[in-house]
Structure 1
Amino acid sequence: MKGRSAIVTGAARGLGQAIARKLLEEGARVAIWDQDGEAAQDSAEQLSDIGPTHSCAVDITSPEEVATALAATRKMLGEISILVCNAAIPGPNVPAAELASTDWARVMEVNVTGTLLCCQAVIPDMVARGYGRIVTIGSVAGKEPGPRIAAYAASKAAVISLTKTLGRELATTGVTVNCVAPGAIRTRIFDGWPESYVQELLAKIPMNRFGTPEELAEIVAFVASRRASFSTGAVFDMSGGRADY
């Protein structure tokens, strides 16, 4: 990964920041993309002692903003070899029958359309150069959905399906597209969920603990490297034994 340039979306904090840190440690130059531009800049500054960083304030649901951010990133870090689509929102924790259509649409727009737009932005140049690594962040919820998270679970199922489609479409180009599907990792995404629901999640994990951002980052770094050269359209689980397919 040394000398390659990467974009990590939603990397101002939490899982994205952990992934960005790991890619820097592996030798990559990393662009921190986040809707919160100030937080993205702070994150880039925090990580800059590890390796070259760049920050962009970008709404990944806007094709124009994605294009602008990509141009700025290329100018600062060079051509992009790695894209990690991490940015996502959880949506409300309510029964599906009570889910507002506006909340459903927003979750789909960020988690699915945002992922697609970022992939569409980098794929042409990756294909032209014959090399690229795209890693989407799914969720065990996209394979084994639970109650009260209909929008989030459906969006992550769509991300998994999109990953498989792109992996097959690009299979002979040198560009791989894979998904990492974590189980429950306790970050601020849990803040809007009842503690009783969080404990229900924990009870489903055979290892009897939540995962850590660092554990997720390790798997992402592998999938984003040359080492994962014969995997594409695949889903790498990190669920503490919960996922069984």
Structure 2
Amino acid sequence: MTVINTSLLASASSTTSSSSMIEAKALLNSNWWGNFSYTDHCKLLGITCNGAGSVTRIVLSDYCFYSDYYTSLLGKLENMNWTSLPNLEYLNLDGCNFTGSIPEEIGSLSKLTWLDLSTNYHLEGTYGYIAPELAYTMVVTEKCDAYSFGVVALETIMGRHPGELLSSLESPSAQNIMLANVLDPRLPLPTNPMVVGNIVLVARMAIACLRSEPRSRPTMLRVSQEFQSVKKTFATPLCAISLLQLWNAEIDFYSINE
């Protein structure tokens, strides 16, 4: 005959209920769904819970894209108490028009394996500068810094965040995108071979750092060594250089003898 310790079961049930209530309170206080009953938080649009009533997935992208009413309920990421969602594994808030900063607490979620905050143009933070694999896995490697450098370097010579250009670099359309057309339009195109060489070098190294496969990116040590090497000149005019040539490193520099 099996003896069941009812006191232990009651204690476990109480703990589960308490944790579930904490998560429900975090969802309620975020104001993303308006008012709802604490006992119904697992029935909210975009919410998936495990058997214990703990939130494992938040996927709001579909609802945000197709419901103006639902989008109007959303606000800021910091409205959510992320530390109250310890079992969150999947977070997709693509296109939800969130504003404000990206909370550091999101990065502390140990079970989070998928994160998508794209198409939230009013967010303040470093999301637009971090490597894709870091956004999805939260695993930091030396190649993550290289990717961030690539974004910042391109932003510097373009005068704006590269945005959609990042997804075009590995596509055939890059052959038709000329370097001169993505440079900051507020500045005249340089003609001095040394200046042209410097710009092309920055663009080439930046693009090399933006490869989707981390192993294909140079290390920051390699980038630094390139910039510290002898000065270089480039005879080809900027208007004749495509991003595909930079991607494939199909360019020739000439050393300047000092």
Q: TM-score, normalised by structure 2?
A: 0.23
Q: Rg: which structure is higher?
A: 2
* Structure with bigger RCO (C-alpha 8 Å, 6+ apart): 1
Q: TM-score, normalised by structure 1?
A: 0.24
Give the structure with the larger strand fraction: 1
